């Protein structure tokens, strides 16, 4: 359960960071690493 919450938190954190980076620039290498 704790591991699942950790990965869920990591996913939303990476998604929010990469989404904000995507809104500022179209060259976003974070998207490839966020959904792996």
pLDDT in tens, 4-14: 887 777 777 77
> Does residue 17 carry a pLDDT above 60?
yes
pLDDT category, 31, cuts 50, 70, 90?
low
Q: What is the mean pLDDT of the chain?
A: 65
31 token code pair: 């998207």
Q: What percentage of the chain reaches a pLDDT higher than 70?
A: 39
Distance CA 16, CA 1 (A): 22
Q: What is the structure's pLDDT at 36?
A: 45
Residue 22 near residue 28 (C-beta atoms within 8 A): yes
Q: What is the structure's pLDDT at 1?
A: 63
Q: What is the structure's pLDDT at 33?
A: 52
């Amino acid at each position: 359960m704790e591991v699942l919450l950790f990965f869920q938190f990591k996913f939303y954190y990476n998604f929010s960071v990469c989404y904000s980076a995507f809104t500022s620039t179209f060259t976003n290498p974070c998207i490839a690493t966020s959904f792996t």
